[in-house]
Amino acid sequence: MKKVRLLSLLSVTALVTTVLVTAPTVANAAPACDGKSPIQSCVGVTSDGAPYAMQVPANFNGTVALYSHGYRYNVDIPAGIPLIGGYKITNTPEPVPGGNAAVAQYFFSQGIAIVGSGFARQGWNPDSAIKTNVELIGTFKAQFPTTTKVIAWGSSLGGVITQGLAEKYPELVSAVAPMCMADNLAPQLTMAGDFLWGVKVLFDPTIKGGNYSPGAAGVAESYGDLVKVFTVMGKLQAALATGAWPDTSSATGKALAAAGVPSRSALLLLGLMAGIPTQSAHFDSVSGPEGALKLTFPLALSPALAILENGTNAAALAVLATQDVENQVGGAFFDNTKTDYSARVDGERVIFNAALSGNTVIDALLGALSAANPGAPRAVANPAAVAKMQALHTNTGKINVPTILMVGMADPITPAGASQRVVDLYADQYAAEKAAAIKAYQTSRSYKTPTNKLLMLWNTTPSSYTKFDAAGSPITSVPAAQGTNHCNFTSAQLVLVAKSLVAASSTGKLPSGGALNTAVRKAGNLSVDKGIRAPWLKSYGDNS
Amino acid sequence: MKALQRRTLLTATAVLATVGLAVTALPAQAAEVGVTASQIKLGMTLPMTGTASLGYNKIPGAAKAYFDYLNANGGINGRKITLVVKDDRYVPTEAVAKTNELILKDKVMALLAPLGTANVKAVATSVNPARRGVPVLFVNTGFSGFADTKKYPTTYTVLPSYIMEAKIMGEYIKENFAGKKIGLLYQDDDFGIDALAGFKTAGVNFAVKVPYASGSQSAASAAGWITKFKAAEADVVILFGVSSATSAMLGTAAQLGYKPQWMLGSVGGDATTIKLTGVPAGVLYNAIGFSPVPATTDMTDEYVKFFSDIYAKAVPGSAFDLNVLLGMNTAFMTAQALKAAGPNPTRKSLMAAIDSKGATFASSALVPAGYSKTSHVGLTGYWVGKYAPTGDLAPIGGTYVTYTTDSGSGPVVKSTYKRPAMPAKGLPN
């Protein structure tokens, strides 16, 4: 198999979203508006220093859409670091996802205003961001007193912020849409920690993977980790067909290599342990090139390639978010001293048995990664840091207002399981509401079926999508498949969410039935099938 | 949490019933997915192409042959059976994609006879037919775990489990090859785990055990296996793998002149399939094999004769072999289940029918099935045979002696099972 030029083609644009509007940096009591028509633009800064932007159509109908952007790195990235080098911290406001013109145009066409801030701090920020949004809603209403309804939506970490806003201040919003929503901090960064720890103990023990020093020294250490992790991924990619191990591998890794364990099987196991999807932007784990690799490619190679692509895509965020949160809570929070990685992969080892090279190899790998092996030392958290982390904002998953979730089935950074968890929790909530309604009937003799308040839009992957060139090598220069990559939505899908939010805020009910099915079909690559189920993040245990 | 949810729903339902509350008029019961006035649609995924497809790719044609016969004779209460078949190439992730298509796009009522332990497990995990209430009928895998009704509540096994097979093999070894050195080739996944568990229960001690990772089987790897068996001086070598592994091993052994006493597991033991790969029939001669259904050459058996005649008309020129017989038998059992599911079958009534009547369904199998309201265990045993010079498996001594057991620690015993006579014209009553 020809070498796959993978790393240079990976997209990280979804992590660091594009921006729309420049804004002043000095806090103002009221926004500065340009008074233009048909769209009036206003900018300002909240009391905590978050720049914001408002755009209000001349035919403003009283509804405003508040958007919360996703995670932005909280440190500048030196130019020499692969993939993400050159990034500068920015808190530029983002009133619609990625500055999407079609979305903005839709809202304006309906007489709906848009608003969004860049938040006061980047990195993991729901605590401050929710407060910022509350203030921003008040500021908007003060500036535009005819405001009657606020709809809120957000992507990735912005999904957490949006859900948090609806949980804490349901009276402020009439409908919300957390899209490609991250899970809470602990499960989300446990996923990152599991993968980084595995890469460290097998492929390069000089990777820190966490427990960074405070302040600038820790930032420098995280830069070093980024380079090392990307280097390891490059070496694994180069040796994917042969199964050779990186020259930086640990003694444990070298022993596995000597025992004939292919490095691709080790990489796949790490991905499965962490819960990284086995479908990626260009690897569907289904297709194979014509010829001798027709069956071998999907059975033995493609799942590892998918982990490589997804893992590389997620690694930067894993390292930098870990450093950021450690800095916030004062020490290491990732702890896998009690993690049973064998249990983590129990359901998947048979499915990917061929790519994992059979039970004998799987058992050898799990033995090497077990807590009993001193050659793979477990990460130990700082209890005080864990306590501080637990005090940071956590969503309960309670649904207070009509809510629309949308997520890619193979999102490598905010797995679909984060949304699945909310779906499952809401099923319990709805059942309880129904039981309460029945109980109330016994005294009032008036029964009202509780209104459904949750719509789940699954962004599905195509049945097969890996492309091969004439020589049988996979093509990674084509756009990422639907349902893969992080927050990889089309304008049509985003507009569908926007329309559904508007409808729900207007009627109090989410779209359903034939009208919804038609709209979903037209948006493309979405499903509302209740039979679809994504696994929760791994640290929750088995919730399949 | 799911249990809590279910309890809550049940409680709510019970309260509603208690107070006799007519909240809203109930809508007329919607027709079941995949069932119309004239048709019942079923779906099947299995390897139709690729190295693992050999032999198994005859199963859909065999099932269709029976369904066509059934349809020509009135179908099930006037409904014709349509079978939608999709090729998964024995790739678990592809089985997931194709099964999703069957459920979401083709709108099948039930999944029928999906093949392969890894594939069925992948579908159970990723497609979740249990949560959707989709029956998964008569899976083509002997993995014992699929009979776990808590974990796979809508899945029904049909083949005897690999544990049962290994236990029966073990019993035969103890009776006939005491003191011999035994070697085992097995697939290094759940398929093999079941086999190892069965042999352990049977008390078989191996001189050498050779695992192979699924998908790695080839002539080159077979040469390596033989080196290991030779080094251990194995007198008896058990091939407990898929057809492509068996064929690779026997073909390479023939080339290298390696001639231990072969013992073939039923999964990879179909003679027609093995011979199609170029393995000379003589290599199979005197090998020991196991089957839950009669020898496919036994035209004195009413089921074999009936299915063979239908198949010959439906697929002229195609050999009637074990995969064909099992495929037709599965279709035959499915027809009985659909008939027993009532005039307007639903997914629930279909499963209820197997739970209540499945153990009494007519079948070519010479061993009993274990279906009940608490068990989704299919057939429970084998007869032991030897391969004739033609390569066909025949009962030792000319008489079927069947053994039955369970997937636990129960004993292996000779079966006294009396097979039901075939219903008139081979149609469900």
For the stretch B346-379, pLDDT in tens is 999 999 999 999 999 999 999 999 999 999 999 9
Cβ distance A355 to B188 under 8 Å? no
Cβ distance A31 to A143 under 8 Å? yes
Arithmetic mean of pLDDT, A333-361 = 95
Number of domains in chain A: 2
**A18 pLDDT more than 50:** no
The pLDDT value given to residue A533? 86
> Which tokens go with A510?
């989410």
> Which tokens go with A258?
């000597």
Instruction: Tell me the residues of chain A between 281 and 300 that have a Cβ less than 8 Å away from chain B.
Output: 284-286, 294-296, 298-300
Domain boundary among A344, A369, A390: A390
What is the Cα–Cα distance from A296 to A293, expressed in whole angstroms?
5
**B22 pLDDT more than 80:** no
Please check whether residue A110 touches B, CB under 8 A.
no
For the stretch A489-536, pLDDT in tens is 999 999 999 999 999 999 999 999 999 999 999 999 999 988 788 999
Arithmetic mean of pLDDT, A160-169 = 98
**A407 pLDDT more than 50:** yes
The alpha helices in B214-342, defined as continuous H runs, are 219-231, 243-256, 271-276, 281-284, 302-314, 322-340
Most A CBs within 10 Å, among B103, B128, B144, B188, to test the A interface:
B188
- Residues of chain A with Cβ-Cβ distance to B216 below 8 Å are 354, 357-358
> Which tokens go with A236?
């694994």
Cβ distance B135 to B159 under 8 Å? no
Cβ distance B106 to B41 under 8 Å? yes
Locus of tokens 């401050």: A128
The pLDDT value given to residue A507? 94
What is the Cα–Cα distance from B111 to B102, expressed in whole angstroms?
8
Interface contact flag, B98 A463, Cβ < 8 Å: yes
What is the Cα–Cα distance from B91 to A257, expressed in whole angstroms?
26
What is the Cα–Cα distance from A393 to B7, expressed in whole angstroms?
31
Interface contact flag, B8 A303, Cβ < 8 Å: no
The pLDDT value given to residue B8? 37
From A99's Cα to the closest Cα of chain B, the distance in A is 34
**Same domain as A196, residue A142:** no
CB-closest option in A303, A351, A442 to B125: A351
Q: Cα angle at B1 between A541 and B2, to 5 degrees?
A: 105
Q: How many CA atoms lie within 13 A of A308 on its CB side?
A: 30
CB-closest option in B21, B89, B214 to A353: B214
**Same domain as A314, residue A242:** yes
Locus of tokens 């072999």: B321
Domain boundary among A370, A390, A410: A390
Residue A3 pLDDT class (50, 70, 90 cuts): very low
What is the Cα–Cα distance from B338 to B346, expressed in whole angstroms?
9
The pLDDT value given to residue B1? 38
The pLDDT value given to residue B9? 35
Interface contact flag, B132 A442, Cβ < 8 Å: no
Locus of tokens 């890894």: B118
For the stretch B297-343, pLDDT in tens is 999 999 999 999 999 999 999 999 999 999 999 999 999 999 999 99
What is the Cα–Cα distance from A286 to B3, expressed in whole angstroms?
34
Interface contact flag, B215 A299, Cβ < 8 Å: yes
Arithmetic mean of pLDDT, A349-361 = 94
Peptide bond into B316 cis (omega under 30): no
Interface contact flag, A351 B9, Cβ < 8 Å: no
Residues in chain B: 429
> Which tokens go with A365?
């790998």
**B4 pLDDT more than 70:** no
Cβ distance A54 to A140 under 8 Å? yes
Cβ distance A237 to A310 under 8 Å? no
**B17 pLDDT more than 90:** no
Residue A366 lies in a domain: yes
Cβ distance A21 to A41 under 8 Å? yes
**A396 pLDDT more than 80:** yes
Strand pairing category for B39-46 and B80-87: parallel
Phi, psi values for residue A352, rounded to 5°: -105, 30
> Which tokens go with A43?
């900018």
**Same domain as A469, residue A409:** yes
CB-closest option in B2, B103, B214 to A531: B103
Please check whether residue B118 touches A, CB under 8 A.
yes
Residue A150 lies in a domain: yes
Cβ distance B196 to B143 under 8 Å? no
- Residues of chain A with Cβ-Cβ distance to B89 below 8 Å are 294-295, 298
- Residues of chain B with Cβ-Cβ distance to A428 below 8 Å are 1, 4-5, 8
Higher pLDDT, A4 or A482: A482
Please check whether residue B16 touches A, CB under 8 A.
yes
**Same domain as A431, residue A309:** no
What is the Cα–Cα distance from A176 to A165, expressed in whole angstroms?
9
For the CA atoms of A322, A325, A331, A334, the dihedral, rounded to the nearest 10 degrees, stands at -50
For all residues of chain B together, what is the average pLDDT? 91
- Residues of chain A with Cβ-Cβ distance to B190 below 8 Å are 350, 353
Residue A164 pLDDT class (50, 70, 90 cuts): very high
The pLDDT value given to residue B54? 86
Residue A24 pLDDT class (50, 70, 90 cuts): low
**Same domain as A171, residue A278:** no
**Same domain as A274, residue A216:** yes
For the stretch A195-239, pLDDT in tens is 999 999 999 999 999 999 999 999 999 999 999 999 999 999 999
In the CATH scheme, what architecture does the domain B162-291+385-394+398-414 have?
A: 3-Layer(aba) Sandwich (3.40)
Residue A13 lies in a domain: no
Q: How many CA atoms lie within 13 A of B285 on its CB side?
A: 7
Task: Give the list of residues 6+ apart from residue A405 with CB closer than 8 angstroms, or none.
Answer: A177, A178, A179, A181, A419, A422, A423, A454, A455, A456, A457
Residue B24 pLDDT class (50, 70, 90 cuts): very low
The pLDDT value given to residue A26? 57
Please check whether residue B88 touches A, CB under 8 A.
no
The pLDDT value given to residue A494? 98
Arithmetic mean of pLDDT, B26-39 = 76
The pLDDT value given to residue A532? 86
**Same domain as A201, residue A176:** no
Domain boundary among A390, A409, A428: A390
Looking at domain B39-160+298-379, what is its CATH homologous superfamily?
Response regulator (3.40.50.2300)
Residue A28 pLDDT class (50, 70, 90 cuts): low
Share of chain A above pLDDT 90, in %: 90
Residue A543 pLDDT class (50, 70, 90 cuts): low
Closest C-alpha among B292, B323, B290 to residue B307: B323
For residue B187, the surrounding DSSP H or E stretch is strand B182-187
Most A CBs within 10 Å, among B13, B91, B132, to test the A interface:
B91
Cβ distance B193 to B168 under 8 Å? no
Residue B11 pLDDT class (50, 70, 90 cuts): very low
Residue A16 lies in a domain: no
**Same domain as A376, residue A228:** yes
Q: Cα angle at B253 between B251 and B255, to 5 degrees?
A: 75
Please check whether residue B146 touches A, CB under 8 A.
no
Interface contact flag, B128 A544, Cβ < 8 Å: yes
B333, exposed or middle or buried, with CB in 10 Å at 0-12, 13-18, 19+?
buried
Interface contact flag, B216 A354, Cβ < 8 Å: yes
CB-closest option in A296, A348, A435 to B11: A435
- Residues of chain A with Cβ-Cβ distance to B118 below 8 Å are 350-351, 353-354
Interface contact flag, B23 A449, Cβ < 8 Å: yes
What is the Cα–Cα distance from A116 to A53, expressed in whole angstroms?
6
For all residues of chain A together, what is the average pLDDT? 93
Arithmetic mean of pLDDT, A384-397 = 98
Cβ distance B199 to B170 under 8 Å? yes
The secondary structure of A393-458 as a DSSP string is: --------S-EEEEEETB-SSS-HHHHHHHHHHHHHHHHHHHHHHHHHHHHHS---PPPP-EEEEE
Residue numbers of the domain that contains A287 = 186-390
The pLDDT value given to residue B141? 96
Phi, psi values for residue A395, rounded to 5°: -80, 145
3-state secondary structure (DSSP) of residue A53: strand
**Same domain as A119, residue A48:** yes
Cβ distance B32 to B346 under 8 Å? yes
Residue A22 pLDDT class (50, 70, 90 cuts): low
From A544's Cα to the closest Cα of chain B, the distance in A is 7
Locus of tokens 């069957």: B102
**A156 pLDDT more than 70:** yes
The pLDDT value given to residue B324? 97
Q: Is the ipTM of this complex over 0.90?
A: no
> Which tokens go with B360?
């009494």
Instruction: Tell me the residues of chain B between 21 and 80 that have a Cβ less than 8 Å away from chain A.
Output: 21, 23-24, 50-52
What is the Cα–Cα distance from B261 to B286, expressed in whole angstroms?
8
Residue A19 lies in a domain: no
The CATH number assigned to the domain holding A510 equals 3.40.50.1820
The pLDDT value given to residue A27? 57
The pLDDT value given to residue A531? 78
CB-closest option in A351, A432, A438 to B15: A438
Interface contact flag, B93 A527, Cβ < 8 Å: no
From A112's Cα to the closest Cα of chain B, the distance in A is 36
Interface contact flag, A531 B212, Cβ < 8 Å: no
- Residues of chain B with Cβ-Cβ distance to A299 below 8 Å are 90-91, 214-215
- Residues of chain A with Cβ-Cβ distance to B92 below 8 Å are 351-352
The secondary structure of A130-164 as a DSSP string is: HHHHHHHHHHHHHHSTT--EEEEEEETHHHHHHHH
CB-closest option in B52, B132, B214 to A531: B132
Spell out a b/e string for A17-50, using b for 16 or more CB atoms within 10 Å of the CB, else e: bebbbebeeeeeeebeeeeeeeebbbbbbbeebb
A215-222: long-range contacts, CB 8 A cutoff, minimum separation 24 = A215/A327, A218/A323, A218/A326, A218/A327, A219/A75, A219/A323, A221/A323, A222/A75, A222/A319, A222/A320, A222/A322, A222/A323
What is the Cα–Cα distance from A75 to A392, expressed in whole angstroms?
20
- Indicate the angle between helix axes B243-256 and B219-231, nearest 10 degrees: 70
What is the Cα–Cα distance from A177 to A163, expressed in whole angstroms?
8
Lowest mean pLDDT among A122-126, A429-433, B9-13, B133-137: B9-13
For the stretch B214-223, pLDDT in tens is 888 999 999 9
**Same domain as A359, residue A269:** yes
> Which tokens go with A391?
């005090």
Arithmetic mean of pLDDT, A35-64 = 97
- Residues of chain A with Cβ-Cβ distance to B240 below 8 Å are none
Interface contact flag, A464 B97, Cβ < 8 Å: yes
Cβ distance A192 to A124 under 8 Å? no
CB-closest option in B11, B131, B189 to A350: B189
For the stretch B419-428, pLDDT in tens is 999 999 999 9
CB-closest option in A286, A535, A543 to B94: A286
**Same domain as A156, residue A55:** yes
For chain B, where do the domains classified as CATH 3.40.50.2300 start and end?
39-160+298-379, 162-291+385-394+398-414
Most B CBs within 10 Å, among A268, A280, A299, A529, to test the B interface:
A299
One-letter identity of residue A214: P
Residue A25 lies in a domain: no
> Which tokens go with A275?
């819960």
Residue A347 pLDDT class (50, 70, 90 cuts): confident
Lowest mean pLDDT among A49-53, A257-261, B4-8, B262-266: B4-8
**Same domain as A456, residue A331:** no
